[in-house]
Amino acid sequence: MREFLIRNGERVVFIGDEITEARREEDPNGLGYGYVAIIAALCVAAHPERRIEFINRGVGGDRVVDLKKRWDEDVIKLDPDWVSISIGLNDAHNRVSGRLREAVPLDLFTSTYRELIERTLDETNAELILMEISVLGEDLGSEGNRVLSPYNEAIRRLAAEYDAILVPVNRAFRRAILSRPGFKWTVDGIHPNPFGHALIAMTWLKSLGFEI
Supply the pLDDT for residue 90: 97
User: In angstroms, how far is CA 85 from the centroid of its own chain?
Assistant: 5
Tell me if the pTM is above 0.85.
Answer: yes
pLDDT at position 1 over 60? no
What pLDDT shows up at residue 78? 98
**Distances from the Cα of 10 to the Cα of 56, 84, 111, angstroms:** 14, 13, 29
pLDDT at residue 180, rounded to an integer:
97
Q: What is the DSSP letter of 5?
A: -
Cβ atoms of 112 and 119 closer than 8 Å: no
pLDDT in tens, 39-78: 999 999 999 999 999 999 999 999 999 999 999 999 999 9
Q: What are the angstrom distances between the C-alpha of 207 and each of 48, 81, 90?
A: 20, 17, 24
What is the spatial distance between Cα 56 and Cα 197, in angstroms, rounded to a whole number? 15
Closest alpha carbon to 184 in 194, 171, 169, 172 = 194
Report the alpha-carbon distance of residue 131 to residue 114 in Å, rounded. 14
Which pLDDT belongs to residue 98? 85
How many angstroms separate the Cα of 22 from the Cα of each of 18, 85, 133, 189, 202? 6, 15, 15, 16, 17
At 3 the pLDDT is: 87
pLDDT value for 96: 86
Query: What was the pLDDT predicted at 99?
Result: 87
- Per residue in 147-200, pLDDT tens? 999 999 999 999 999 999 999 999 999 999 999 999 999 999 999 999 999 999
Q: What are phi and psi of 53, to 5 degrees?
A: -105, 130
pLDDT confidence bin for 203, thresholds 50/70/90: very high
In the predicted model, is pLDDT for residue 209 greater than 80? Answer: yes
Counting beta carbons within 10 angstroms of the beta carbon of residue 1, is it exposed (0 to 12), middle (13 to 18) or buried (19 or more)?
exposed
pLDDT digits (tens, 9 = 90+) for 86-142: 999 999 999 888 888 899 999 999 999 999 999 999 999 999 999 999 999 999 999
The partner residues of 16 in beta bridges, in order of sequence, read 58, 86
Q: According to the 3-state scheme, what is the secondary structure of 102-129? A: CCCCHHHHHHHHHHHHHHHHHHCCCEEE
